[in-house]
Structure 1
Amino acid sequence: MQDGNDVVLIKLDRIREIRFGHKALKTLGAITGKEIDSMMKMDGLDLEAVEKILYCGLLSDARAHGEELRLEDMEDLLDYANPWNELIEKMQLAFERAFGTTHAGESNPGNGQAKLNRQQRRATGKKA
Structure 2
Amino acid sequence: MDNNDVVIINLDRPRVLRYGHAAIKRLLAMTGKTLEEFEETDSFDMESLEKIVYCGLLSDAREHNEPLKLEDMEHLLDYAEPFQHIVEQVQKAFVAAFGKKEGNGEAIQPERGKKRK
Q: Normalising by structure 2, what TM-score?
A: 0.82
> What secondary structure, in the 3-state scheme, does the structure 1 residue paired with 2:100 have?
coil
1:38 and 1:6, CA in 2 relative to 1: closer, same or farther beyond 3 A? farther
Aligned residues: 109
Alpha-carbon spacing, 1:106–1:12, altered in 2? closer, same or farther (3 Å) = farther
Hey, which bits of structure 1, 4+ residues long, moved more than 2 A? 3-7, 102-110
**Contact 2:18–2:97 (8 Å) recurs in 1:** yes
- Structure 2 gaps of 5+ residues are 113-117
Are the equivalent residues in 1 in contact too, given 2:30–2:51 (CA < 8 A)?
yes
Q: How does 1:1-128 map to 2 (within 5 A)?
A: 5-101=4-100, 107-108=107-108
Which digits, 9 at most, give the CA deviation of each residue in 1:66-87, with x for residues without a partner?
0011000000000000001111
2:115 aligns with none
Structure 2 CA distance for aligned equivalents of residues 80 and 103 of structure 1: 34
- The question of whether the paired residues in 2 share the 8 Å contact of 1:96 and 1:103 is answered with no
- Unaligned regions of 5+ residues in structure 1, if any? 116-128
Q: Give per-residue Cα distances to partners, 1:57-115, cap 9 Å, x unaligned.
A: 000000000001100000000000000111100001100110011597753379xxxx9
How big is the shift at 1:39? 1.9
Percent identity between the aligned chains? Answer: 53
Query: Contact conserved, 2:98 with 2:109, CA < 8 A, in 1?
Result: no
Q: TM-score, normalised by structure 1?
A: 0.75
Report if the CA contact (8 A) 2:99-2:107 is conserved: yes
Query: After alignment, is 99-108 or 3-12 more displaced?
Result: 99-108
Q: Is the 8 A contact 2:26 2:55 kept in 1?
A: yes
SS in 2 for 1:16: strand
SS in 1 for 2:16: strand
**Offset at 1:47?**
0.6
